[in-house]
Amino acid sequence: MITNSYAGATTQIRTPTGLTTDIPVLSGVKQGCPLSPIIFNLTIDLILRAIKRSASNNGPAKVHGIHSLADKCASISLTCSNNSQSSFELNEFIVQNKPIPPLDRENAYKYLGVPIGLIHDPDNISDLVQDLTRDLESIKKSLSAPRQKLDMIRTFLQPSLTFALRPGFPKKDNLLRVGGLGLLNPTVEADVQAIIRAVKMLSCSDPTLSNIAIAEINQTVRLASRSNPTPALKSKYLSSLPDDRLTNLRYNILSLWTRVRKSTCNLGVEIQFNDNGLPILSTQNSGSVLAKEASRFLHFHVQDSFASTLLALPDQGKVGRALTTGTFANGSTWQYNGLNIRFRDWRFIHRARLNCLPVNNVKSRWSNSCPKCRHCNSDETLPHVLCHCLRNMPSILRRHNTIVDRIVNAVQSGTVTTDQQVRAANSRLRPDIMVEEDNKLLIIDACCPFDNNAEALRDAEQRKLNKYEGLKQFFVGQGKQCEVFGFVIGALGSWHPANENVLRELGMSKRYRSLFRKLCWTDAIQGSTNIYREHLGITEGSVDADNSE
């Protein structure tokens, strides 16, 4: 498969007069392809092994006819000593009879867009941000599906920025202040990468590198505090913890360690040194990890911090608090696989969950417009539009019936009746679903309340249980086993945990349960999208109306 993907590969160059003819690609790997680093590593491994085997021989080592390209290489020569300052030399190395250009003190070599050298260019990050911004605009204008656009950003753009942030000292004013949908704010990512770089240097398995890092932090703390850099003092310095010796710092030269000190303060992270001298990361609300777990630990910490901030909002956190009651991807798996999600659903659901849709009640907060519903006298809130407006009742019923049909199709055995009165019970109640098998009877009634905090889902279930308690007692009086279940799906895709009882009673396999939940979530979201569009009078193919959402 790899051979086929490279065989006959060609490229073209776009010029003012049009595209050139096909240019064969006869060497190298495809730039930007996720497979390319793997192919490169496999190839370079063969070269390194061959060089080791031929180290005692004279002449260049050749593997499968591969030659090095001197114009794509550079070298830096440093002599490090514990007793004296490191010295710099200009040495010319010969590889395959070709000289490798050496770098002087002021020059840098760009690797994947990042300058590497003795002196790092702090302004280069602004150029990189401009390039990434152009790429973002290109992705935005592409005809890819929304989930595909997110995947491209996560796979190609975000790693490029992360790679640049780790070795450099970026000015945060140059970074894009954006985030959401799993994309981390670059200003926060800069702090994360600074801490990761520091703890990995201090924990490096190479004693030369770790000793250099330890010497640097010792020197920084000694100059800043005029005190002996004990493990406790270094921990307080890097963690921005209070200490009289660190009140008025006497050392303000920019370095990795001063950057880490600011980063731990911004993120609420502490760096402690254990008995072995290795750094340990910890936060107030989580455990502690060593350097190898630093990246995962810090990114989860940041995500939790942003999630907590959102959930604490009195208005926009309501749907979020309802979503957290589910333990199965929170009704948002469609963001990554696009299962049953239409473009119009995508445009609707994110704004809906944040209460940013232009319904009259929301618009009245920022203008003098009337908050009343355009079809009745109630306030036009999103819950009113999706669940209560009388004009929308036919569409609300269709959303409900779609979920009922989904449950009915999942029943594997027994006699099923839907929306039928139980005449023998002298009751006017019409349960959505009754499943009778042998001497056992299940009563299932579905509903789609608005996701107004987790309590709204629990209250909706309790109303169903109370509603059919009398009918349950009737069947019990006839000597039958009877259970009543309220099946609750939020109008914006929240999953009520008690729904799991229904899935178990219907005998669903674990695999089918996972699919069933996702289908129910998307059924609710699609139904709510249709209700909202009909309420605003948005017709099929109305592009301008879609954009106004």
Q: Tokens in use for 317?
A: 């956190």
Q: Is residue 44 scored above 70 in pLDDT?
A: yes
Lowest mean pLDDT among 57-61, 124-128, 405-409, 509-513: 57-61
Burial of 260 (0-12, 13-18, 19+ CB in 10 A): buried
For residue 272, give the nearest of 264, 280, 284 by alpha carbon.
Answer: 280
The CA-based angle 470-474-475, given to 5 degrees, is 125
The CA-based angle 271-273-276, given to 5 degrees, is 150
Cα–Cα distance measured from residue 308 to residue 379, given in angstroms and rounded to the nearest whole number: 30
Q: Tokens in use for 133?
A: 């911004």
Question: What integer pLDDT is reported at residue 327 of this predicted model?
Answer: 80
Mean pLDDT of 64-92: 74
Q: Is residue 95 scored above 90 in pLDDT?
A: no
Mean pLDDT of 177-189: 75
Q: What is the pLDDT of residues 498-515, one digit of tens each?
A: 999 999 999 999 999 999
Which of 124-138, 262-276, 478-492 is modeled with the greatest confidence?
A: 478-492
Q: Is residue 155 scored above 60 in pLDDT?
A: yes
Mean pLDDT of 374-381: 94
Question: What integer pLDDT is reported at residue 301 of this predicted model?
Answer: 92
Mean of the per-residue pLDDT values for the chain?
Answer: 85
What is the full DSSP assignment across 161-221? HHHHHTTS---GGGS----BTTBPPHHHHHHHHHHHHHHHHHT-SSHHHHHHHHHHHHHHH
CA 549 to chain centre: 24
Pick 326 or 87 by higher pLDDT.
326
Strands 279-283 and 288-289: antiparallel
SS3 for 392-439 is: HHHHHHHHHHHHHHHHHHHCCCCEEEECCCCHHHCCCCCCCEEEEECC
Question: What integer pLDDT is reported at residue 462 of this predicted model?
Answer: 96
Question: What integer pLDDT is reported at residue 36 of this predicted model?
Answer: 87
Mean pLDDT of 418-426: 89
Cα–Cα distance measured from residue 72 to residue 470, given in angstroms and rounded to the nearest whole number: 81
Cα–Cα distance measured from residue 505 to residue 160, given in angstroms and rounded to the nearest whole number: 49
Mean pLDDT of 287-302: 90
Mean pLDDT of 446-457: 94
Q: What percent of the chain has pLDDT over 70?
A: 87
Q: At a CB cut-off of 8 Å and minimum separation 6, what does 499 contact?
A: 487, 488, 489
Long-range contacts of 234-237 (CB under 8 A, 24+ apart): 234/273, 235/270, 235/271, 235/272, 235/273, 237/261
Which of 113-127, 277-291, 319-333, 425-439 is modeled with the greatest confidence?
A: 425-439
Mean pLDDT of 409-420: 93
Q: Is residue 198 scored above 60 in pLDDT?
A: yes
Q: Is residue 546 scored above 50 in pLDDT?
A: no
What is the full DSSP assignment across 22-75? PEE--SS--TT-TTHHHHHHHHHHHHHHHHHHTTTSSS---BTTB---GGG--B
What is the full DSSP assignment across 431-477? -SEEEEETTEEEEEEEE-----HHHHHHHHHHHHHHHTHHHHHHHHH
For residue 69, give the nearest of 98, 30, 111 by alpha carbon.
Answer: 98
Q: Is residue 21 scored above 80 in pLDDT?
A: yes
The band of 28, judged by pLDDT with boundaries at 50, 70 and 90, is: confident
The band of 547, judged by pLDDT with boundaries at 50, 70 and 90, is: very low
Report the b/e string of 51-86 with b at 16+ CB within 10 A. eeeeeeeeeebeeeeeebebeeebebeeeeeeeeee
Fold exhibited by the domain 382-536: Restriction Endonuclease (3.40.91)
Length of the chain: 549
Mean pLDDT of 413-417: 92
The band of 158, judged by pLDDT with boundaries at 50, 70 and 90, is: confident
Q: Is residue 545 scored above 60 in pLDDT?
A: no
Residue ranges of the domains in the chain?
Answer: 1-66, 68-100, 105-164, 192-302, 382-536
Q: Is residue 468 scored above 80 in pLDDT?
A: yes
Mean pLDDT of 447-468: 95
Report the b/e string of 345-362 with b at 16+ CB within 10 A. bbbbbbebbbbebebbbb
Mean pLDDT of 491-501: 94
Q: Tokens in use for 516?
A: 């069933």
Question: What integer pLDDT is reported at residue 84 of this predicted model?
Answer: 59
Which of 66-80, 102-116, 145-159, 340-354 is modeled with the greatest confidence?
A: 340-354
Cα–Cα distance measured from residue 221 to residue 238, given in angstroms and rounded to the nearest whole number: 9
Q: Tokens in use for 387?
A: 């669940």
Cα–Cα distance measured from residue 222 to residue 233, given in angstroms and rounded to the nearest whole number: 9
Cα–Cα distance measured from residue 412 to residue 293, given in angstroms and rounded to the nearest whole number: 45
What is the full DSSP assignment across 110-136? EETTEEEESS--TTHHHHHHHHHHHHH
Cα–Cα distance measured from residue 502 to residue 488, given in angstroms and rounded to the nearest whole number: 10
Question: What integer pLDDT is reported at residue 480 of this predicted model?
Answer: 92
Cα–Cα distance measured from residue 237 to residue 229, given in angstroms and rounded to the nearest whole number: 10
For residue 220, give the nearest of 195, 250, 200 by alpha carbon.
Answer: 250
Question: What integer pLDDT is reported at residue 540 of this predicted model?
Answer: 66
Cα–Cα distance measured from residue 470 to residue 425, given in angstroms and rounded to the nearest whole number: 9
Q: Is residue 122 scored above 60 in pLDDT?
A: no
The band of 224, judged by pLDDT with boundaries at 50, 70 and 90, is: confident
Cα–Cα distance measured from residue 127 to residue 124, given in angstroms and rounded to the nearest whole number: 5
For residue 224, give the nearest of 270, 258, 271 by alpha carbon.
Answer: 258
Mean pLDDT of 356-375: 92
Lowest mean pLDDT among 73-87, 133-147, 525-539: 73-87
For residue 414, give the nearest of 481, 487, 469 by alpha carbon.
Answer: 481
Q: Is residue 339 scored above 50 in pLDDT?
A: yes
Q: How far apart are the first and last CA of the chain?
A: 44
